[in-house]
Amino acid sequence: MIPRLGVNIDHVATIRQARKTVEPDPSAAALIAENAGADGITVHLREDRRHINDRDVKLLRKTIKSRLNLEMSINPLIVKIACQIKPDQATLVPEKRQEITTEGGLDIIAQEKKIKNIVNKLKLKGIWVSLFVEADRGQLKAAKRVNADAIELHTGTYANAKTETSINRQLDRLLKAAKLAKSLDLHVYAGHGLNYQNTAKLLKKIPEIEELNIGHSIVSRAVLNGMDEAVRTMKVLIQAI
């Protein structure tokens, strides 16, 4: 089975928000990503709206043809928005105001009842629910208990590992977690920090992975690959005067 690619376009919105203007529009990026083969579009509607905002999510819901995966905290206002927008998939993530990006997996055990209620609420709206978790036995079992459909394994520690030994240790850890999740009848996804160097190795090691969510490395490559055309077009415009 070839894993699905969910393209996270948060950082297209980050560039827009650097000037609080209207470009680049994440919904335009989503359509290009879909035309290039993206199997889904992933966005994180953060409580502080630092990149993706409510208008983006509403527009994406109307315009994309693939699957909309909404990364979200368990904040009641965000849960309410998710129930109104009805993305195809909701991925519950922990969220701290000061963090640069999602720092770790969701602590399901610490708030099991609350998360179970939210999972059930989302599922009643027909939303497929995934939980972003560490490769931890206890958390995976808790994911099953709260009725999640899937788990997304946090690959950040693997992505940050520098030596061969630590990379292999992280891969073994993720493989063990993927096998356990599958035995619990949970679908297995993975994401965070994946790039053009570390993704193939992860997939070769862990065939259980059905979906990847990748953002920063794809948006970074898009910026660099587009730079040549962008400068040439501006030069043509200036020289034409």
Shortest distance (Å) from residue 93 CB to ligand PXP: 5
8 contributes a contact to ligand PXP by CB under 6 A: yes
Residues 214, 98, 122, CA angle at the centre, nearest 5°? 55
**CA–CA dist 177, 139 (Å, integer):** 10
Give the residue among 225, 128, 119, 138 at the shortest CA–CA distance from 177: 138
Which residues, in sequence order, are bridge partners of residue 41? 7, 68
Spatial contact of 30 and 10, defined as CB atoms under 8 Å apart: no
Binding mask 14-43 for ligand PXP (x = CB under 6 A): ------------------------------
Shortest distance (Å) from residue 30 CB to ligand PXP: 15
Q: Where does this chain touch ligand PXP (CB under 6 A) — which range of 162-170, 180-188, 215-223, 233-241?
A: 215-223
Shortest distance (Å) from residue 190 CB to ligand PXP: 8
Collapsing DSSP states into helix, strand and coil, what is residue 68?
strand
| Residues touching ligand PXP, count (CB under 6 A) | 19
Binding mask 147-166 for ligand PXP (x = CB under 6 A): -----x--------------
Q: Where does this chain touch ligand PXP (CB under 6 A) — which range of 32-40, 175-183, 189-197, 224-232?
A: 189-197
Q: Identify whether 71 is a catalytic site residue.
A: yes
Which of 11, 51, 71, 134 is flagged as catalytic? Answer: 71
Neighbours of 207 (CB within 10 A): 13
Residue 29: is it exposed, middle or buried by C-beta count within 10 angstroms (0-12/13-18/19+)? Answer: buried
CA distances from 175 to 69, 168, 171 (A): 24, 10, 6
71 contributes a contact to ligand PXP by CB under 6 A: yes
66 contributes a contact to ligand PXP by CB under 6 A: no
Shortest distance (Å) from residue 232 CB to ligand PXP: 29
**CA–CA dist 75, 215 (Å, integer):** 23
**CA–CA dist 161, 181 (Å, integer):** 23
Site of interaction with ligand PXP (CB under 6 A) = 8, 10, 44, 71, 91, 93, 101-102, 132, 152, 191-194, 213-217
Residues with a catalytic annotation lie at 44, 71, 192
